[in-house]
Chain A
Amino acid sequence: MTVASLAANLPALARRVGRLATDGWTLGALLLALLVAVPVVAVIWLAIAPDDAIWQHLASTVLPYYVQTTLVLMLGVGIGTFIIGTGTAWLVTMCRFPGCRVFEWAILLPLAVPTYVLAYVYTDLLEYAGPVQRLLRDLAGWQSSRDYWFPEIRSLGGAIAVMTMVLYPYVYLLSRAAFLEQSVCVLEVSRTLGKNPWQGFMSVALPLARPAIVVGVSLVLMETLNDFGTVHFFAVGTFTAGIYDVWMNMNSIAGAAQLASVLLLFVLALIAVERVARRGQRYHHTSSKYSTLPSYRLAGGRAALAFVACLAPVVLGFLVPGGVLADYALAHYRETLSGDFWIYARNSLMLSSVTALLAVLIGLFMAYGTRLGGGPVVKAATRFASTGYAVPGAVLAIGVIIPIAALDNALDLLSRTAFGLPVGLLFSGTLFAVVYGYLARFTALSFGTLEAGLGKITPSMDGAARTLGCGPGALLRRIHLPIMRGSVLTAALLVFVDCMKELPMTVILRPFNFETLATYVHQFASDELLEESALGALTIVATGILPVILLSLTIARSRPGHAGAGRPADDVSLEGVAP
Chain B
Amino acid sequence: MKSGGLHINNVSHAFAAGKPVLNGVSVFVAPGELGCLLGPSGCGKTTLLRIAAGLEVLQVGQVRVGERVVAEGRHGAHVPPEKRGIGLMFQDYALFPHLTVLENITFGLNHAPQRRAWASEALARMGLAAYAGVYPHILSGGEQQRVALLRALAPEPQVLLLDEPFSGLDVTRRASIRAETLGLLKETGVATLMVTHDPEEAMFMADRILVMNDGRIVQDGTPVETYFEPASAFVAALFGPVNRLRGVVRDGHVATPLGTFEAPRLGDGAAVEILIRPEGLRLAWPGGTPEVRAGDVPCKPAPVSGRVASRGPVRAVSARPLGRSSHVVLRVPDGDGRALVIEARVPGVFLPKAGAEVQITVNPRQVYVFPVS
Cβ of A139 under 8 Å from chain B:
no
Complex contacts, B96 vs chain A, CB 8 Å: 461, 464-465, 479, 483
- B138 touches which of A12, A463, A471, A563 (Cβ 8 Å): A563
Cβ of B135 under 8 Å from chain A:
yes
- B94 touches which of A11, A458, A565 (Cβ 8 Å): A458
Decide if B92 touches A460 in the complex (CB within 8 Å). Answer: yes
Decide if B90 touches A11 in the complex (CB within 8 Å). Answer: no
A237, B251: Cα distance in complex, Å: 97
A460, B88: Cα distance in complex, Å: 10
Cβ of B108 under 8 Å from chain A:
yes
Nearest B residue to A456, CB-CB: B97
Cβ of B347 under 8 Å from chain A:
no
Complex contacts, A420 vs chain B, CB 8 Å: none
Decide if A464 touches B94 in the complex (CB within 8 Å). Answer: yes
Decide if B138 touches A15 in the complex (CB within 8 Å). Answer: no
What 0/1 pattern do residues 126 to 167 of B give for CB contact below 8 A with A?
000000001101100000000000011001010000000000
A466, B77: Cα distance in complex, Å: 17
Decide if B98 touches A482 in the complex (CB within 8 Å). Answer: yes
Cβ of A324 under 8 Å from chain B:
no
- A468 touches which of B54, B97, B98, B108 (Cβ 8 Å): B108
- Give the dominant DSSP class at A's interface: helix
Q: Which residues 155-196 of B sit at the A interface, judged by CB distance below 8 A?
A: 155, 157
Decide if B81 touches A568 in the complex (CB within 8 Å). Answer: no
Task: Give the interface residue-count category, chain B.
Answer: 35 or more
Decide if A469 touches B98 in the complex (CB within 8 Å). Answer: no
- B134 touches which of A468, A471, A479, A565 (Cβ 8 Å): A565
What 0/1 pattern do residues 77 to 95 of B give for CB contact below 8 A with A?
1101111101110111010
Cβ of A301 under 8 Å from chain B:
no
A470, B81: Cα distance in complex, Å: 8
Complex contacts, B271 vs chain A, CB 8 Å: none
Separation in Å of the A155 CB from the closest CB of chain B? 51
Cβ of A334 under 8 Å from chain B:
no
> A468-B107, A563-B138, A568-B137 are known contacts. Are A483 and B75 too (CB-CB below 8 A)?
no
Cβ of B342 under 8 Å from chain A:
no
Decide if B88 touches A567 in the complex (CB within 8 Å). Answer: no
- Give the dominant DSSP class at B's interface: loop
Nearest A residue to B148, CB-CB: A464
Decide if B82 touches A471 in the complex (CB within 8 Å). Answer: yes
Separation in Å of the A564 CB from the closest CB of chain B? 8
Of B87, B88, B151, B155, which is in contact with the most chain A CB atoms at under 10 Å from its CB? B88
What 0/1 pattern do residues 21 to 55 of B give for CB contact below 8 A with A?
00000000000000000000000000000100111
Separation in Å of the A461 CB from the closest CB of chain B? 5
Decide if B110 touches A469 in the complex (CB within 8 Å). Answer: yes
Cβ of B57 under 8 Å from chain A:
yes
Decide if A463 touches B91 in the complex (CB within 8 Å). Answer: no
Complex contacts, B50 vs chain A, CB 8 Å: 463
Complex contacts, A11 vs chain B, CB 8 Å: 75-78
What 0/1 pattern do residues 529 to 556 of A give for CB contact below 8 A with B?
0000000000000000000000000000
Decide if A467 touches B82 in the complex (CB within 8 Å). Answer: yes
A482, B97: Cα distance in complex, Å: 10
Decide if B82 touches A464 in the complex (CB within 8 Å). Answer: no
- A469 touches which of B76, B94, B108 (Cβ 8 Å): B108
Decide if B53 touches A463 in the complex (CB within 8 Å). Answer: yes
Nearest B residue to A478, CB-CB: B107
Complex contacts, B83 vs chain A, CB 8 Å: 469
Complex contacts, A463 vs chain B, CB 8 Å: 50, 53, 55, 81, 88, 90, 94
Complex contacts, A376 vs chain B, CB 8 Å: none
> A467-B55, A469-B155, A483-B97 are known contacts. Are A567 and B76 too (CB-CB below 8 A)?
no
Decide if B110 touches A467 in the complex (CB within 8 Å). Answer: no
Decide if A467 touches B98 in the complex (CB within 8 Å). Answer: no
Q: Which residues 481-537 of A sit at the B interface, judged by CB distance below 8 A?
A: 482-483
Separation in Å of the A459 CB from the closest CB of chain B? 9
A112, B84: Cα distance in complex, Å: 53
Complex contacts, B92 vs chain A, CB 8 Å: 458, 460
Cβ of A566 under 8 Å from chain B:
yes
Decide if A460 touches B138 in the complex (CB within 8 Å). Answer: no
A564, B137: Cα distance in complex, Å: 9
- B98 touches which of A464, A471, A563, A567 (Cβ 8 Å): A567
Decide if A467 touches B53 in the complex (CB within 8 Å). Answer: yes
Complex contacts, A465 vs chain B, CB 8 Å: 96, 107
What 0/1 pattern do residues 327 to 346 of A give for CB contact below 8 A with B?
00000000000000000000
> A11-B77, A469-B82, A483-B98 are known contacts. Are A566 and B135 too (CB-CB below 8 A)?
yes
Complex contacts, A568 vs chain B, CB 8 Å: 97, 135, 137
A478, B82: Cα distance in complex, Å: 14
A112, B70: Cα distance in complex, Å: 57
Decide if B135 touches A467 in the complex (CB within 8 Å). Answer: no
Complex contacts, B110 vs chain A, CB 8 Å: 469
Complex contacts, B53 vs chain A, CB 8 Å: 463, 466-467
Of A15, A465, A474, which is in contact with the most chain B CB atoms at under 10 Å from its CB? A465
Decide if A468 touches B91 in the complex (CB within 8 Å). Answer: no
A565, B133: Cα distance in complex, Å: 11
A566, B100: Cα distance in complex, Å: 10
Separation in Å of the B90 CB from the closest CB of chain A? 4
Residues of B bordering A, CB below 8 Å: 50, 53-55, 57, 75-78, 80-84, 86-88, 90-92, 94, 96-98, 107-108, 110, 134-135, 137-138, 151-152, 155, 157
If A483-B98, A567-B98 are given as contacts, then 10 extra A-B residue pairs at C-beta distance below 8 Å, sorted by A number, are: A11-B78, A461-B96, A464-B90, A464-B96, A467-B87, A467-B157, A471-B80, A566-B135, A567-B97, A568-B137
Q: Which 5 A-B pairs have the closest CB atoms?
A: A468-B108, A460-B94, A466-B81, A460-B90, A464-B94
A sample of 19 cross-chain residue pairs with beta-carbon separation below 8 angstroms, ordered by A number, consists of A15-B57, A456-B97, A463-B50, A464-B94, A464-B96, A466-B80, A467-B53, A467-B55, A467-B82, A467-B84, A467-B157, A468-B107, A469-B82, A478-B107, A482-B98, A565-B135, A567-B97, A567-B98, A568-B137
